Amino acid sequence: MKQNVDMNNKVKNTIDSAESIQKVDVSPFFKANVMHKIRNTSEEIQDATWSWFTPKLQLATLVCVVVLNIIAFNSLQKSDYIESVNSFAESYGLSTTTESTILN
């Protein structure tokens, strides 16, 4: 029974302490200051995200992509398209053979 009384006293003390909470006076510009800090922080994070992708790096990437496309286009024109398609079809068993079967 002593535990029950101790628990009731603890609950009563907790409720009494919650009732003693008073209203806090806040500056009228508190919300504006907080919102301003939040906006500045989000802008700094957004700027830092793409800061590594500088114009020099963009130009280098563009040059690499163009050079790779030119190399791929030239190698595509050098190879015989029909020959490539036939070898692909034969390797995957998609080509039609001209062999005669017993039924034909």
Q: Per-residue pLDDT tens for 29-86?
A: 888 999 888 888 776 666 556 667 788 889 999 999 999 999 988 877 766 777 778 8
pLDDT reported for residue 37: 86
pLDDT reported for residue 6: 86
Alpha helices in 1-104 (DSSP H): 2-19, 30-49, 55-78, 81-91
Distance CA 80, CA 63 (A): 28
Angular region, 93: left φ>0, alpha ψ -120 to 50, beta rest: left
Structural contact between residues 95 and 86, judged by C-beta atoms closer than 8 angstroms? yes
pLDDT reported for residue 85: 80
Residues 22-31: what's their mean pLDDT?
A: 85
Distance CA 18, CA 89 (A): 81
* Model pTM above 0.75: no
